[in-house]
């Protein structure tokens, strides 16, 4: 990290630019537009750039931003909130349907991750619809604190990890961390995890055994196993010790297969997480102590808050996270969002409540849930906007309607997964079970028969999701 920062600093000095400690913001102003460009994260060979476009002229109904990198060694590897293209050193970003209209003084945010060789990923100039946005370079100084004008808080990056010695997701990626808006591996490179969620383990515990986890790891080639432990509905509150032990055993089984294990504290009814605050503290104290030395455990502390404010959810999170951190200071924590983890959209809100008031903790991501037949363009727009400002993790989604039933909507499901892939947002599908509902991947009776491999045991939704998950992962190691 220090080596790459030094190279960037040296390159900027050579280019005659004023520089400061990251994050650096380069603000260019003109009669018709202003562009604020921020390097929010940086690692050996790569960086993340956030771009804020402000229209200072007449209202526009669509826009195209163009700029030039300092040399052709800089390449866009992933972009969001715009259609990105690059030819040589020239980069263009075109508006999407939902962010193309900008009134006078209106602004929108876009972003990207890039690779680089040489020493200076700072663009040379910007134009908006052909109008040059010029001005002096105005860097800022300071360390990210979670304020949305900079970037979410991050932990210290790992130092020169050795090459991976195995081929499982955990062997390759090791301990994960949040870097900027991304989930990053031990090499500080953004990655996406893809996997499956259990149904309630109080009902479908017989579905989760050596044979089924072997199928997930080897046949499906999954990266992630979400362990859904209901708190109410005949769950944890009825026998805390037994359910804690059941979760621990499933984490151990996932660990043995090199899968990441996502422990889901599945609150649903009542939707106020404070109702289960003491139970959450007891449960997470136990499981974080039990698995503190593992590199593959992720903690989801509130499945689907509903009927409560974001401020209340945030308060709950800031009381539970220290309990985990006391045992496991490095583990990723995922916080549910308002309105059944829809970033507030299902109750008439949007992502700004989280963007403007993030949880005061490091290595935190925010849950988003969707059901493809029910949640469409306005939900996708919220994810696209939020993904440039906060780190998201889709810890649950279905290919059907929000009840978990109804017809399999392949078209909307494919649109959703294409979006998540483009943004490197990790996901777990609901569910790896043989429930009768159409969202379940397995045909009824599969768990009793004990064969989980191949497509013959799968419903149409399961066949589709397996095909998406088993495509090759992109886990960069340098």
CATH number of the domain that residue 74 is part of: 2.60.40.290
334 shares its domain with 464: yes
DSSP 411-433: HHHHHHHHHHHHHT--EEEE--S
- Paired tokens of 471: 């495509």
Share of the chain above pLDDT 90, in %: 65
Nearest to 32 by CA among 51, 55, 52: 55
Average pLDDT over residues 36-60: 78
Contact 312, 274 (CB under 8 A): yes
Of the residues 300, 351, 353, 396, only one is catalytic, namely 396
- E strand or H helix at 202, and its extent? helix 201-204
pLDDT: which is higher, 297 or 109? 297
Last residue of a domain, one of 133, 149, 183: 133
Residues 120 and 207 in one domain: no
Confidence of residue 55 (pLDDT cuts 50, 70, 90): confident
**Do residues 33 and 47 make contact, with C-beta atoms less than 8 angstroms apart?**
no
**pLDDT in the model for residue 158:** 42
pLDDT value of position 137: 41
Backbone torsion region of residue 194, taken as left when φ is above 0, otherwise alpha when ψ lies between -120 and 50, otherwise beta? beta
Q: Which two tokens stand for residue 345?
A: 């959209």
Q: Which residue in this structure is represented by tokens 């297969």?
A: 257
Is the same domain home to 248 and 309?
A: yes
In whole angstroms, how far apart are CA 19 and each of 147, 148, 253? 21, 22, 49
pLDDT above 60 (res 155): no
How far, CA to CA in Å, does 53 sit from each of 101, 110, 129, 393? 12, 8, 12, 26
Residue 247 has pLDDT above 80, yes or no: yes
How far apart, in whole angstroms, are the C-alpha atoms of residue 434 and residue 436?
6
Range of the domain at 40: 2-133
Asked whether residue 194 falls in the same domain as residue 94, the answer is no
Q: Is 159 within a domain?
A: no
Query: CA-CA distance, 193 to 368, in Å (whole number)?
Result: 15
Is 154 a member of any domain? no
In this structure, are residues 244 and 283 in contact, taking their beta carbons and an 8 Å threshold? Answer: yes
Gyration radius of the chain over CA positions: 22
Establish if 89 belongs to a structural domain.
yes
Spatial neighbors of 364 by CB under 8 A, at least 6 apart, are 152, 153, 178, 317, 321, 332, 333, 334, 335, 358, 391
Residues 327 and 452 in one domain: yes
**How many residues appear in the chain?**
478
257 lies in the same domain as 406: yes
Is the model more confident about 127 or about 279? 279
pLDDT at 43: 63
Binning pLDDT at 50, 70 and 90, where does residue 12 land? very low
What is residue 98's predicted lDDT score, i.e. its pLDDT? Answer: 66
The two structure tokens encoding residue 443: 């045909």
Catalytic hit among 300, 304, 353, 437: 304
Cβ contact 84:93 at 8 Å: yes
User: Any idea which of 28-37, 280-289, 375-384 has the lowest mean pLDDT?
Assistant: 28-37
Q: What is the pLDDT of residue 42?
A: 65
How confident is residue 145, by pLDDT bands cut at 50, 70 and 90?
very low
Residue 451 has pLDDT above 60, yes or no: yes
For 77-128, the pLDDT digits (tens) are 777 778 888 988 889 999 877 678 888 888 787 878 777 765 555 676 889 9
Residue 57 pLDDT exceeds 90: no
pLDDT at position 177: 94
Question: Residue 45, by phi and psi: left (phi above 0), alpha (psi -120 to 50) or beta?
Answer: left
- Catalytic, 396? Answer yes
Do 60 and 199 fall into the same domain?
no
In a domain, 141, yes or no: no
Check which CATH number belongs to the domain holding 227 and give it: 3.20.20.80
Instruction: Decide if 347 is catalytic.
Output: no
Question: Is residue 25 in some structural domain?
Answer: yes
Dihedral angle over CA of 377, 383, 388, 391, nearest 10: -170
Chosen domain end from 133, 161, 184: 133
Say which residues have a Cβ less than 8 Å from residue 299's Cβ, sequence separation at least 6: 262, 263, 265, 284, 287, 288, 324, 328, 331, 332, 333, 334
38 and 184, same domain (yes or no): no
| Domain-embedded: residue 179 | yes
- The values of phi and psi at residue 149, to 5°, are -80, -10
Bigger pLDDT: 95 vs 447:
447
pTM: 0.72
Q: Are residues 118 and 187 in the same domain?
A: no
Does any domain span residue 240? yes
**Are the C-beta atoms of residues 398 and 211 closer than 8 Å to each other?**
no
Predicted confidence at residue 18, as pLDDT, reads 31
- CB-based contact 60:32 (threshold 8 Å): no
Q: What's the structural domain count of the chain?
A: 2
**Together in a domain, 362 and 459:** yes
Q: How far apart, in Å, do the first and last CA atoms of the chain sit? A: 13
Same domain, 39 and 114: yes
- Dump pLDDT digits (tens) for 368-419: 999 999 999 999 999 999 998 999 999 999 999 999 999 999 999 999 999 9
Range scoring the smallest mean pLDDT among 118-127, 288-297, 417-426, 429-438: 118-127
Is residue 109 included in any domain, yes or no?
Answer: yes
Mean pLDDT of the chain: 86
- What backbone phi and psi angles, to 5 degrees, belong to 46? -155, 165
Q: 301-356, pLDDT tens digit by residue?
A: 999 999 999 999 999 999 999 999 999 999 999 999 999 999 999 999 999 999 99
pLDDT confidence bin for 22, thresholds 50/70/90: very low
Q: Are 69 and 183 found together in one domain?
A: no
């Amino acid at each position: 990290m220090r080596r790459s920062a030094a190279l960037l600093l040296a390159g900027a000095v050579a280019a005659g630019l004023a520089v400061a400690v990251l994050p650096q913001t380069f603000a260019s102003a003109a009669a018709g537009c202003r562009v604020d460009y921020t390097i929010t994260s940086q690692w050996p060979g790569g960086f993340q750039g956030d771009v804020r476009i402000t229209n200072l002229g007449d209202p526009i109904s669509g826009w195209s931003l163009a700029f030039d990198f300092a040399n052709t060694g800089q390449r866009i590897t992933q972009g969001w909130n715009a259609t990105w293209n690059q030819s040589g050193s020239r980069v263009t970003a075109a508006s999407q349907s939902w962010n193309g209209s900008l009134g006078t003084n209106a602004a929108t945010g876009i972003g990207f991750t890039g690779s680089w060789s040489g020493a200076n990923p700072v663009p040379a100039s910007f134009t908006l619809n052909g109008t040059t946005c010029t001005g002096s370079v105005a860097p800022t100084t300071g360390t990210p604190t979670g304020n949305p004008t900079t970037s979410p808080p991050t932990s210290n990056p790992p130092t020169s990890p050795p090459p991976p010695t195995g081929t499982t997701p955990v062997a390759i990626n090791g301990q994960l961390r949040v870097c900027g808006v991304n989930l990053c591996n031990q090499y500080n490179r953004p990655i996406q995890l893809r996997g499956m969620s259990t149904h309630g383990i109080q009902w479908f515990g017989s579905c989760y055994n050596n044979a089924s986890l072997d199928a997930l790891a080897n046949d499906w080639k999954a990266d992630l196993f979400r362990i859904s432990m209901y708190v109410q509905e005949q769950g944890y509150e009825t026998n805390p010790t037994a359910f804690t032990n059941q979760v621990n055993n499933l984490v151990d089984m996932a660990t043995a297969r090199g899968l990441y294990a996502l422990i889901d504290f599945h609150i649903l009814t009542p939707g106020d997480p404070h109702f289960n605050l003491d139970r959450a503290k007891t449960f997470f104290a136990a499981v974080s102590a039990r698995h503190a030395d593992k590199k593959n455990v992720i903690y989801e502390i509130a499945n689907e808050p509903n009927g409560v404010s974001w401020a209340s959810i945030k308060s709950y999170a800031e009381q539970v996270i220290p309990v985990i951190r006391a045992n496991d200071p490095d583990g990723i924590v995922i916080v549910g969002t308002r309105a059944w983890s829809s970033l507030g959209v299902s109750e008439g809100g949007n992502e700004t409540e989280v963007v403007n008031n993030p949880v005061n903790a490091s290595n935190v991501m925010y849950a988003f849930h969707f059901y493809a037949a029910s949640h469409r363009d306005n939900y996708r727009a919220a994810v696209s906007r939020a993904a440039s400002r906060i780190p998201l993790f889709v810890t649950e989604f279905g290919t059907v309607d929000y009840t978990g039933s109804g017809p399999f909507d392949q078209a909307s499901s494919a649109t959703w997964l294409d979006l998540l892939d483009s943004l490197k947002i990790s996901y777990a599908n609901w569910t790896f079970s043989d429930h009768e509902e159409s969202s379940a991947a397995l045909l009824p009776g599969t768990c009793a028969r004990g064969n989980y491999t191949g497509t013959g045991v799968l419903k149409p939704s399961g066949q589709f999701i397996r095909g998406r998950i088993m495509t090759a992962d992109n886990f960069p190691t340098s």
